Structure 1
Amino acid sequence: MTAELKKRIAILERMLDNVGACIFSKDLDGRYTYVNQAVLNVFDLNEEDVLGKDDSHFFNLAKSQEVIENDRAVMQTGKVLEKEETNFVKSFNKEKTYRIVKKPIYDEDANIIGLFGIANDISEQRELESKVHEQNQLLDIVLDNVAAHIYMKDDAREFMYVNAKVASLFGLPVSQIIGAKEQDILPEEMAAHFHQSDSELFASGKKQTIEETVTDESGNTRHYLSVKVPFEQQGRRSLIGFSTEVTELYELKEQFRKQANTDYLTGLYNRRYFVEVAEREFKRAMRSGEPFALMSLDIDHFKRINDKFGHPAGDEVLKTIAKNLIGNLRDEDVLARIGGEEFAIILPHTNFEQASKVAERIRDYQSSHAIATEQDDVLAKVSIGLVMREHDDDTFDSMFKRVDKALYQAKEQGRNRVVAHVS
């Protein structure tokens, strides 16, 4: 074996040991002939305790028949197998779900002598997927395993190695990337982003796990979880990088965040998030001394609307009023549905005269514009309470209590009116 070949093998082994996926090979009897570090971590064993042994030592086969059936299918048919596989791992004493790819290994005479496989643990993704379905039944995205983008660069920003996944991402053949500098083949902004994170890696000299966001040539934002490992080769500072695209997972988390803050019917902020934002704005107004207005709005006789026209019509009234309110507010104002038929609005940088005009404009609009429903047109009038931040307001909660009193007074005085500045 030549020194160059040994070097390539050493680099490849180092790369494979840093890939998040489990990589392995087996002979026709199902005995392991190669495992990377990820497999050893799963089994919690050393290499000598794994090689030459079959899966009965590592899995509860009574609960893991898939692993045997899948291996047999690959080695008997010669077909490539790509699917999910659930195994009961003894070291974890629990079931783990993997996205696996298994392919046959041939000898020089084209006889199948075993298989090799790549397995990615997707147990947590499946658990998250289950929670999404249970909580809102709106998301049914299945997060498939995404192969890693693998590359090597030196500290002069020159690519030493890229796999096909990287070449596809860059839109160039591998031959054009190897030996090229990233600033010569990548968009300027993307190259600068990579250079900054690479420089931090070389400065620390330690393995890093970072999140990276890049914009491709089509303007799409992509999110990656990247592992970068520094090493030296003949005095040449270099790094190996493994980047897994997590755009779908990132978007899923963003949807979770939005749903946690949003009222399902109207699309407005919910009470919890409204109070969170309002408290932050209240503190800002206290520091700056700027005026700060709070409005509470309730639909008059909403129960009668539901009783007379039905709950679907009531829902339509709520949604339409939400749209009307948005149309009467500025971008900086914060609107939320905080109860069944109750809405709240904070108006930053707004004095009493300005806030009163907004409240009266909303009241007048609702009292003169009927809302079309499937049953009939409904004239849904509103009562409004309005208060301003005062010097003795130590917390937003004190304003919230006062605006509730103002709203209650507006309803007591006959509804379809604005009561403001109640102490």
Structure 2
Amino acid sequence: MTVSSSMPEAVPPISVAGCAAAREPAAEPGGPLRSHDHAFSLAAGHAPMDPLIDGLLRLVAAHFGVAAACIVPGEAPAERGPAAGVDETLHEALRALAHGCDAGREREPLIVPDIFADPAWRNVLAHASKPLRFVAAWPLYGAQGEHVGSLCLIDPEPRELDAASRANLGDFARVVAALAVRPTLATNRDLAVSAADEPALHAGLEALREHERLLAHAIAGSGTGIWDRDVVTGEIRYSVGWKAILGYAEHELTSRIEDSYLRLHPDDREYVLAAMQAHFEGRTPVYEVEHRIRCKDGRYKWICSRGKVMSRDAQGRALRMIGTTTDITSMREMAERLRESATLVTNLTNEVPGLVFQRRQLPGGRAFFSYASAGIAEIYELTPEQAAHDTACIDALIHPDDLDAWRASFEHSAASLTPWHLEFRVQLPQQGLRWRQGDARPQRLADGTTVWHGFITDVTERKRIEAELQEFASTDGLTRLANRRHFMARVESQLAHVRHGGTGAAVMMCDLDHFKSINDRWGHAIGDDVLRHFAEILRTQLRAGDMAGRIGGEEFAVLLAAADLEGAQSVARRVQERFAEQPLGVEGDVVALTVSIGITLMHAADMSAQAALTRSDFALYRAKKGGRNRIECA
């Protein structure tokens, strides 16, 4: 707060344009000045006071709770003497005050919180008939920006004006200037206000009062306090709200800046002082820091202090600084909880085997992973940064046979907003061919972007086990050919193809001749070798799309896709020849081998796959009955 420390040497005569105070009983002549003492009321020379200005000044005095509010002209005829009720000493002092508040280059108000504490002012007012302790003056300016006077506050008790009060005093001064300074304060005619102006003036005053109420509520409700620092003297004054932040009553804090440094957290002190010095030196436009400060009970709170140097001397050195302090403890605690939550989520997603991701697809089609956990290194052998621009690097790793399905699955999920699910293969530089499974749920943003939150995991081992289980469920354990159930399912599928106009197919039934004798002579182990030997011969004679299966015991069936009867007979003869030409060697001896075969064609009129199998079985029966090692058709 700006405080006068000296009086001008030459003080010209003063005339008072107007003053008013709250209406109270008059004080005894020469007695002590009371707050709102009407005996102290000043008038403009001996001319009657304009009622509107008189009411306005009473409002100002009541608002600030001072003894009187005065309008003091900046220029006045030398011959005009003191106003009625004002002794010459006070007259001269107020005149000096009126000139002094326009002396600074910042055109700031001149405020003397305690006249007794200032030797220059105390000496000047020592012989005044009314004791004064507090004086404040806010400059008034005319239409051309010229200084035409001051709005003054005077009181018998010392007091301070915080930043909010100063702002209010400035608002009142602008209203007083608009009302009274037209263009000078010299005549009653210039002070006159038309009846038409009165509603506007009252509206302006009400707006000022409402502004003050809102400002006070806003400051009180925001956990914010105000401070005002005299950089030269090291004095810093705090608002009641500022002190309340730290749990102090109004009278419990000193105004020395050195004491405020002691309340800083030791770990923050150097940082705060450096930020303050940087602003003093003009290296930062404002002072703004977040730091911890010790409260009355010894605990530390987090606060945000913001301030700005309001005036500097001719050399640019900081003179005065005003700022605010806001309690941000709850925000810091919330931020810390959010940080801990984010850390927990990140740790969890990074430790879970697999890739936790957020995938975005923009309306234009560009897709990228806006979040990818550390698992992307395992799943794709990539880093999160590589996938953050687009998904081209991932598309390049998808197995070519699965790439279309990969792209189509996301397009379908985006179009229908249905969950995304896909099992696909990737070909990785280090891991080679691997299986992946992805699951995610999409949502549409307001701008048309589709966002998936999901998880991709390695299912290579599961797919291997599934393949083994599938093989166990569909394969004969001894010969590794299809078992009866799997073979019949394939025949049913082929029959459906034939019924829909597809190419025909042939079914062969094969039975090993004299197999019981082989088991009886050589044993069941050799019998198993014979079965495996015949199965391998079948495999060598089949084309892509054909299937051989073990139906039971020594019986085998073969499905020849897209084959007619002649083609099926040709395959049957080759099988017989290879089987006979490649006997099984056993302990220096050989096992002679032959096979009987029955053939039939599948028909669209067949009721089921079993119908074709039954016909080929009848043909096999005829081959066995006809002497074995034969081929019969049905």
TM-score between the two structures when normalised by the length of structure 2:
0.41
Q: C-alpha distance in 2, partners of 1:154/1:286?
A: 47
- The question of 1:330 aligning with 2:543 is answered yes
Query: What's 1:251 paired with?
Result: 464
Q: C-alpha distance in 2, partners of 1:196/1:348?
A: 32
Question: Cα–Cα, structure 1 residues 300 and 211, in superposed 2: closer, same or farther, change >3 Å?
Answer: same
- The question of 1:149 aligning with 2:383 is answered no
Q: C-alpha distance in 2, partners of 1:195/1:8?
A: 36
Query: What's 2:630 paired with?
Result: 417
Query: What's 1:186 paired with?
Result: 394
- The question of 1:340 aligning with 2:546 is answered no
1:285 is aligned, of 494, 498, 522, to: 498
> Do the aligned partners of 1:231 and 1:239 also contact (CA within 8 Å) in 2?
no
Q: C-alpha distance in 1, partners of 2:504/2:574?
A: 20
Q: Secondary structure at the match of 2:466?
A: helix
1:160 is aligned, of 360, 370, 382, to: 370
Question: Cα–Cα, structure 1 residues 374 and 331, in superposed 2: closer, same or farther, change >3 Å?
Answer: farther
- The question of 1:268 aligning with 2:474 is answered no
- The question of 1:378 aligning with 2:591 is answered yes
What is the 5 A alignment of 1:13-52?
none
Question: Cα–Cα, structure 1 residues 290 and 152, in superposed 2: closer, same or farther, change >3 Å?
Answer: closer
For the aligned residues, what is the CA RMSD? 3.5
Percent of aligned pairs with the same amino acid: 29
Q: C-alpha distance in 2, partners of 1:11/1:236?
A: 24
Count of residue pairs the alignment pairs up: 293
> Do the aligned partners of 1:292 and 1:346 also contact (CA within 8 Å) in 2?
yes
1:361 is aligned, of 574, 578, 602, to: 574
Shift of 1:330: 1.7
CA deviations 1:212-253 (Å, max 9, x no partner) are 314133451322142345486999764322222222112211
Shift of 1:417: 1.1
Shift of 1:199: 4.7
Q: C-alpha distance in 2, partners of 1:353/1:192?
A: 41
Q: C-alpha distance in 2, partners of 1:296/1:193?
A: 40
Shift of 1:386: 1.5
Query: What's 1:171 paired with?
Result: 381
Q: C-alpha distance in 1, partners of 2:533/2:608?
A: 32
- The question of 1:303 aligning with 2:516 is answered yes
Shift of 1:397: 2.0
Q: C-alpha distance in 2, partners of 1:298/1:225?
A: 48
Structure 1 unaligned segments of length 5 or more: list them: 22-117, 119-145
Q: Secondary structure at the match of 1:220?
A: strand
Q: 1:254 corresponds to which letter in structure 2?
A: A
Structure number with bigger Rg: 2
Q: 1:213 corresponds to which letter in structure 2?
A: F
Question: Cα–Cα, structure 1 residues 353 and 177, in superposed 2: closer, same or farther, change >3 Å?
Answer: closer
Q: 2:394 corresponds to which letter in structure 1?
A: L
> Do the aligned partners of 2:414 and 2:442 also contact (CA within 8 Å) in 1?
no
- The question of 1:216 aligning with 2:424 is answered no
Q: Secondary structure at the match of 1:158?
A: strand
Q: C-alpha distance in 1, partners of 2:428/2:467?
A: 23
> Do the aligned partners of 1:211 and 1:225 also contact (CA within 8 Å) in 2?
yes
Q: 1:182 corresponds to which letter in structure 2?
A: T
Q: C-alpha distance in 2, partners of 1:245/1:304?
A: 52
> Do the aligned partners of 1:300 and 1:415 also contact (CA within 8 Å) in 2?
yes
Please say which of residues 250-259 and 159-168 is displaced more in the overlay: 159-168
> Do the aligned partners of 1:294 and 1:347 also contact (CA within 8 Å) in 2?
yes
What is the 5 A alignment of 1:235-246?
238-246=451-459
CA deviations 1:237-296 (Å, max 9, x no partner) are 643222222221122112111211101011101111111111221232233264432111
CA deviations 1:152-176 (Å, max 9, x no partner) are 23334333322211134343444x3
Q: 1:358 corresponds to which letter in structure 2?
A: V
> Do the aligned partners of 1:366 and 1:379 also contact (CA within 8 Å) in 2?
no
Q: Secondary structure at the match of 1:267?
A: coil
Please say which of residues 2-11 and 149-158 is displaced more in the overlay: 2-11
Q: C-alpha distance in 1, partners of 2:561/2:476?
A: 22
Q: Secondary structure at the match of 1:288?
A: coil
Structure 2 unaligned segments of length 5 or more: list them: 1-330
What is the 5 A alignment of 1:76-155?
147-155=353-361
Q: 1:167 corresponds to which letter in structure 2?
A: A
Q: C-alpha distance in 2, partners of 1:6/1:202?
A: 34
Question: Cα–Cα, structure 1 residues 226 and 324, in superposed 2: closer, same or farther, change >3 Å?
Answer: same
Q: Secondary structure at the match of 1:332?
A: coil
Query: What's 1:389 paired with?
Result: 602
Question: Cα–Cα, structure 1 residues 9 and 342, in superposed 2: closer, same or farther, change >3 Å?
Answer: same
> Do the aligned partners of 2:509 and 2:598 also contact (CA within 8 Å) in 1?
yes
TM-score between the two structures when normalised by the length of structure 1:
0.60
Q: Secondary structure at the match of 1:147?
A: coil
> Do the aligned partners of 2:576 and 2:594 also contact (CA within 8 Å) in 1?
yes
Question: Cα–Cα, structure 1 residues 192 and 370, in superposed 2: closer, same or farther, change >3 Å?
Answer: closer
Q: C-alpha distance in 1, partners of 2:404/2:583?
A: 56
Q: 2:389 corresponds to which letter in structure 1?
A: A
Shift of 1:361: 2.4
